[in-house]
Chain A
Amino acid sequence: MKTIELQINGAAHEVSIEADETLLQVLRNRLDLIGTKKGCDSGGCGCCSVQVDGKVVYSCMMYAAGAAGKAITTIEGLGDGGTTLDPLQQAFIDAGAVQCGYCTCGMIMNASELLATTKNPDEDQIRHAIAGNLCRCTGYTKIVDAIKLAATRIAGRAMESPE
């Protein structure tokens, strides 16, 4: 066991881990951040997507030790932690992009990176961005709709309050 410090959603967490524990295992099993889901544990489904320094990673494919000193964002870090949601979370609700919900958090974390780097992405950009996140319920139609809706709302807000 060794002790590392992880910066998660803006807070520091000191955690004792085995050297080969993945970020996913530490988030779920040691820190109870259960919004990050395990779908395959082999980098194939995207349910465990989180952001590390603003980039989406499959947390099942990253050693926790490798994330030390980096800014980790999980689904619990979106919105204000209360009833105010991130525009993507709200759009997923409004567009009906949630069915069983197991892929949802990873999908939102992935889309969140896209919208942070690409204003008003077109449909091709959205579909390619989420191609690493599998969903078996929706056929992706309403997920794509939700990401478009969030992008439009974010752009609208930017228009209202130009910096």
Chain B
Amino acid sequence: MSLIGTSPQRPDAFDKVTGGKGFPVNVKLPGMLHAKLLRSPYPHARILRIDTSAAEKLPGVKAVLVPSEVPKRKYTPVYFVPAAAGSMVQDMLIMSDTVRFAGQPVAAVAATSLRIAEQAIELIEVDYEELPTVFDPEEAMQPGAPQLHEHAANNVAVNPVMGFGDLDKGFAEADHIFEGVYSSHRVHTCYMEPRVCIVDCDRQGNYTVHSSTQHLFGVREKLAYALEIPESKVRVIKAPYIGGGFGGKLDIGYIEPVAALLSRKTGRPVRIEQTRHEDFISTARHPIKVYLKTGVKKDGTFTARHARSILDTGAHATHGAEVINVHGVFGLLMTYRCPNSKWEGYTVYTNNMIGGGYRGYGSPQACFAAESQIDEICEQLKLDPIEFRRKNAWHAGEPHPMVPGVTLDSYAFDECLQSGAERIGWSQRKKADSGSGTKKRGMGFACQPLWVSGCVGFPDIYEHSGAIIKLNVDGTADLAIATMDIGSGQTTTLCQIAAEELGLPMEAVRMVQNSDTTTVPVDAPTHASRATYSAGNAVQAAARTVRERLLKVAGIMLDINPEQLAVANGRVSVKADPKRSLSVAEVVTRAESPFVQHGKNGPAPTTLEEKGTIIGVSSLAPKSNPSPVSVEFVEVEVDTETGQVQVLRVVYAHDLGKLIHRNGAEGQVEGGFQQGMGYALMENLLFDPVSGSCLAGDFLDYKMPTAVEMPRDIQSIFIESNEPSGPFGAKSLSEPCITVPAPAIANAIYNAIGVRIRELPITPEKILAALGKL
């Protein structure tokens, strides 16, 4: 293998450093209107009257939209499930006359300029009847709390309960029982490109859509469903780049359907770009409170675990109905071996903003609880925390604990633990709070032992991908696939996989720009750590078809059995006699040539078998759902006078199956740490407890780590366990690196100062309070 594991230049890098044209935010269409949403100032209210007459009279205003005009079919906006999925909750309308969170759109205006649209929404008069509010999910579950949706008694949208074994017996067998409550807060994905869409409806009701999305076909399906039109009426254009997503662009927003309806009214393309404040109240990681009770034997073997998780889903269920399951299953129930387990999840409506998808999808909240508590157990029972985890871990070759019919074929948890511990110098770790002076250092680690590579085996979640690869007469290949590159390098790794399989140089494979839902096979979203594995498998399959036909044509040209041919570096050659060779360009030229060609020796016919474009198409779901592993060690320094925590060193060890693009993989992990550290220490999407309005609606109030706060030293160890079902042995990487930082940092802080913080974020105020200094 020549390309796999190297770091070829990203095909999109040149354009991105010279201006970056391919973002949806740059799309401009002739006659385009600009629309603006009017949003409710109240978190819970009934709309009594809307008067849009003054707005309509403003010159330049072309259309106004109010709740009475939108389709009445309720839907879930989440892309990766069917719109009416049984596991989800269909509680959304494009616009409703009941407001359930501050910022919910209540009207919209399309005008010839953004300035006019902004002026026009100020002219809309809305009379509200304010309703009682509830912002705390546990209060919302109490009898007598304001009810947000008729279908949800006690505001519980979904209440999954899962388990196995005999919990009472398990706790009876335990030598020690530990209980803790671990809570987490609301954070934003902070994609840098705002959510934006341009929708163009023609006079026959065909919609062309540009959207900053993680899922091309999700936009088509959800928009068609919300508008109550056939999917074939919606064509979604694939943007070459998306300016970050991290899960925050995994559902149809208010903006796409509103733009579509305004475009239908005006017959002109309508663009809506969210302000940063609107982005902050559009999607967030859900706060989850975890009540965790664990029984262990003296030697640290788990005997029983019981967890209860309360998730604040905000005004609508959307992702909250699925996040709760991922959180419970991959964060609490299945991460380690425990014979008697039970977990109860509650996805609870409140008058807070609607939660969304965010990298890790429920797992960071669980990992913080579970990995913090394991360290608490080890500290009290004087057990080695590495040995403790190893003792309770799964092993390669065992059945996958969650996905029926799947085996953990590749699984290198032990190696991750060992190599990470060696690299950070774990043997040098001191006892908790053993430093002197005001600044104290500590080491900690945390694990995400079980995770996904896509969603094969899970109910209601799309998983297949498909690719089209076509060879050109100049020896290049075009790869068309719906997989969105949201920055994490899907274009690069998929081109790399194609190039490797086709025996072409990296630069000979190009990603088709601006393909759309009418031209490429259906694809699940860029989410769930799936693109390299699942889309990579589809690309490899299409490339194999292409290679087979390439060798067949070359075999005719060289008068040899194709099985005796190989292709590498852009040349097809006879294995036993490499001097006999043809360039890929020559073979493709022959396949694309006229039937009879005029050469030096006069007309020469070719054969029918040679004729035709060399093309491969695939559409498939992967065979398995292999688990990556993430283990992270950190060293921190805590200033006991100020409460400030500085992360000094980070060592990650990942079992990712096989490294495809080294530099890209490192970049994923380094960026994942920034998000994880922000979650652990500083980021907090705060809301006013009375008005429910967002208090951190820009980057001056929402504090995410800059280059100054980030540690200088982030190291990545990649363990290659060679997953048999993955492209060249690869599985996944993207998400586990973001779940582990919060507990690793919490554990390191404990090691530094002997104080356990169970509530995120771990701010200086909490540290000083815990030290008795506040």
Contacts and interface: CB of A to CB of B under 8 A. Distances in A.
Interface string B6-46: 01011011101111110101100000000000000000000
B698 interface: yes
B192 A98 contact: no
B487 A140 contact: no
B708 A128 contact: yes
Contact of A96 (B192, B664, B708): B664
A136 B706 contact: no
A138 B241 CA distance: 16
B426 interface: no
Nearest to A132: B706
A40 B275 CA distance: 7
Contact of B19 (A43, A44, A76, A143): A76
Contacts of B710: 127, 139-141
Interface string B589-600: 000000000000
A131 B385 CA distance: 36
B487 A105 contact: no
Interface stretch (B128-136, B517-525, B666-674): B666-674
A38 B25 contact: yes
A121 to B, nearest CB: 12
B505 to A, nearest CB: 17
B423 interface: no
A78 B9 CA distance: 20
A89 interface: yes
Contacts of A103: 192
Interface string B463-499: 0000000000000000000000011110000000000
B20 A47 contact: no
A157 B18 CA distance: 22
Contacts of A128: 707-708
Interface in A115-163: 123, 126-128, 130-144
B649 to A, nearest CB: 13
B706 A93 contact: no
Interface in B192-246: 192-194, 241-244, 246
B265 interface: no
B241 A18 contact: no
A140 B706 CA distance: 8
B701 to A, nearest CB: 8
Contacts of B194: 38-39
Contacts of A100: 191-193, 241-244, 486-488
A34 B19 contact: yes
A138 to B, nearest CB: 5
Contact of B23 (A102, A130, A140): A102
Interface string B693-734: 000001110001011101010100000000000000000000
Given A98-B13, A105-B19, A136 B700 contact: no
Nearest to A33: B19
Contacts of B663: 96, 142
Contact of B18 (A18, A79, A134): A79
Interface string A65-79: 000000000011011
A127 to B, nearest CB: 4
Interface string A90-104: 101110101111111
A37 B21 CA distance: 10
A3 interface: no
A140 B671 CA distance: 7
Contact of A102 (B9, B17, B193): B193
A104 B714 contact: no
A152 to B, nearest CB: 18
Contact of A92 (B12, B13, B671, B673): B13
Contacts of A44: 276, 698-700
Contacts of A38: 25, 194
Contact of B706 (A85, A108, A134): A134
Instruction: Give the residue among B192, B242, B243, B671 with the most A Cβ atoms within 10 A.
Output: B192
A138 B214 CA distance: 18
A142 B675 contact: no
Instruction: Give the residue among B189, B487, B666 with the most A Cβ atoms within 10 A.
Output: B487
A45 B670 contact: no
A18 B115 contact: yes
Interface residues of A, number: 52
B487 A137 contact: yes
B487 A104 contact: no
Instruction: Give the residue among B10, B16, B193, B663 with the most A Cβ atoms within 10 A.
Output: B16
B746 interface: no
Contact of A99 (B21, B189, B487, B712): B487
A87 to B, nearest CB: 11
Interface string A26-66: 00000000110111111111010000000000000000000
A78 B18 CA distance: 8
B700 A43 contact: yes
Interface in B642-685: 663-664, 666-667, 669-675
B485 to A, nearest CB: 8
Contacts of A108: 17
B304 interface: no
A138 B712 CA distance: 13
A101 B674 contact: no
B193 A39 contact: yes
A35 B18 CA distance: 7
Contacts of A41: 275-276
Contacts of B488: 99-100, 137
B708 A131 contact: yes
B190 interface: yes
A134 to B, nearest CB: 6
Contacts of A141: 666-667, 670, 710, 714
Contact of B667 (A75, A132, A134, A142): A142
A93 B11 CA distance: 10
B126 to A, nearest CB: 25
Instruction: Give the residue among A99, A105, A123 with the most B Cβ atoms within 10 A.
Output: A99
A143 B672 CA distance: 15
B20 A101 contact: yes
A92 B700 contact: no
Contacts of B707: 126-128, 130-131, 133, 140, 143-144
A85 to B, nearest CB: 7
Given A40-B276, A99-B488, A143-B707, 20 more contacts: A37-B192, A37-B243, A40-B698, A44-B276, A45-B192, A76-B19, A99-B489, A101-B243, A105-B16, A105-B20, A131-B706, A134-B706, A135-B192, A136-B189, A136-B674, A137-B244, A137-B487, A138-B674, A139-B674, A140-B674
3 residue pairs, one from A and one from B, having the closest CB atoms: A100-B487, A44-B699, A102-B243
Interface of B: 7, 9-10, 12-14, 16-21, 23, 25-26, 115, 189-194, 241-244, 246, 275-276, 486-489, 663-664, 666-667, 669-675, 698-700, 704, 706-708, 710, 712, 714
20 contacts: A37-B25, A39-B276, A44-B700, A45-B192, A93-B9, A93-B14, A101-B17, A102-B241, A102-B243, A105-B19, A105-B20, A135-B674, A137-B244, A138-B674, A139-B672, A139-B673, A139-B714, A140-B706, A141-B710, A142-B670
